[in-house]
Amino acid sequence: MPSRPALPIEGGMKLLPTLLRAIGAAWLLIGGVPAHAKPAVTTTTATPALWAVQDADTTIYLFGTVHVMKPDIDWFHGDIKRAFDRSNELVLEIIEPDDPGAIGAAMAGMALAKDGVKLSDRLTPNARARYQAAMDANSLPWRTFDMFNPWMSGMALSVAPLAKLGYKNDLGAEKILRIAAQAASKKVDALETVEQQLGFFASLPMAQQVQFLNATVDGLPDMESEFGDLLRYWQAGQPDRLAKSMNESLEATPELAQVLLTGRNANWAKWIKARLDQPGTVFVAVGAGHLAGKGSVQDQLKSLGLRARRLKDVKP
């Protein structure tokens, strides 16, 4: 969910750093995000956006999530809680393995550089110095990461500072929803596998991986303000403002946006259309960036002749 043009042109533009942070924060890439932190006293009441796609015997709710949060945000109430309670099934982007080590092992296997080139050697001298300083500042061993392809370090640097800023993976919307679904004996399913999501990054051409890493490093000073702004848009139920922040970068990087965002949105819209053939009520929760702006899931549904209706009041 970025706020700047993405592909670096002459080294000066950013590469979807905030969107990729949002995606990457869904995974426990490092040990810096506590797994057992308890929420503090609630101080902020959020009202995130909610949509529904319906036919005669099926309702599919669409809810945009934030993968990491601070312990002072209350969002699981009102319309969202009522829609969730009415649902027979929860569908997430992925089902995160209970063992974080399983994700780490999958990442390491896919990220290992097969050509024997050290990651640091893929960077220009200036970029290398900035990268190594950023890794040191976030307690990430850049020498160990030299065996991996650049996207791995980019993902790690996308998550580590969020932990320092007080964002917690276990307070992310997916975690809360999955726990609630399991407590209510609801079916929990996923649109993608962990391996598929990692594959989106692993399949990027090397030049784009390097650009992603450099842009992530360059964007670190703005992480707190950018992520904070996007979280406020989400809390206020303002997907249009969230989309406005995204679209500048997405329009500048159509090839990357197609792989990481719009192509996946199109696949999910097809899944929703097919799911309407089965009666029932489903609560679909995916990253908020997928439900905002041009090329969103809602846009993709329109192309399939379906309408996602924004809900303001879901009655029990």
Residue 110 domain flag: no
Q: Identify the band that residue 259 occupies on the pLDDT scale cut at 50, 70 and 90.
A: confident
Q: Identify the band that residue 1 occupies on the pLDDT scale cut at 50, 70 and 90.
A: very low
On whether the CB atoms of residues 171 and 89 are closer than 8 A, the answer is no
The encoded tokens of residue 123 equal 């960077």
Residue 50 domain flag: yes
On whether the CB atoms of residues 25 and 247 are closer than 8 A, the answer is no
Residue 277 domain flag: yes
Query: pLDDT, tens digit, for every residue of 84-115?
Result: 999 999 999 998 877 766 677 777 788 999 99
Higher-confidence residue: 263 or 313?
A: 263
What's 128-142 look like in SS3? HHHHHHHHHHCCCCH
CA-CA distance, 155 to 106, in Å (whole number)? Answer: 14
Residue 47 domain flag: yes
pLDDT at residue 21 greater than cutoff 80 = no
Q: What is the mean pLDDT of residues 72-81?
A: 93
Task: Specify the pLDDT at position 89.
Answer: 98
Q: At what angle do helices 17-24 and 206-219 cross, to 10 degrees?
A: 90
Task: Specify the pLDDT at position 247.
Answer: 62
- The pLDDT > 90 percentage for the chain reads 53
Query: pLDDT, tens digit, for every residue of 124-145?
Result: 999 999 999 999 999 999 999 9
Residue 4 domain flag: no
Residue 214 domain flag: yes
Number of domains in the chain: 1
Residue 90 domain flag: yes
Q: What is the mean pLDDT of residues 254-262?
A: 77
C-alpha distance from residue 234 to each of 40, 63, 179, 197 (Å): 20, 11, 21, 23
Task: Specify the pLDDT at position 155.
Answer: 87
Q: Identify the band that residue 201 occupies on the pLDDT scale cut at 50, 70 and 90.
A: confident
Provide the domain limits for residue 302. Answer: 17-33+40-102+154-310
Whole-model pTM?
0.83
Residue 140 domain flag: no
Task: Specify the pLDDT at position 116.
Answer: 92
On whether the CB atoms of residues 29 and 140 are closer than 8 A, the answer is no
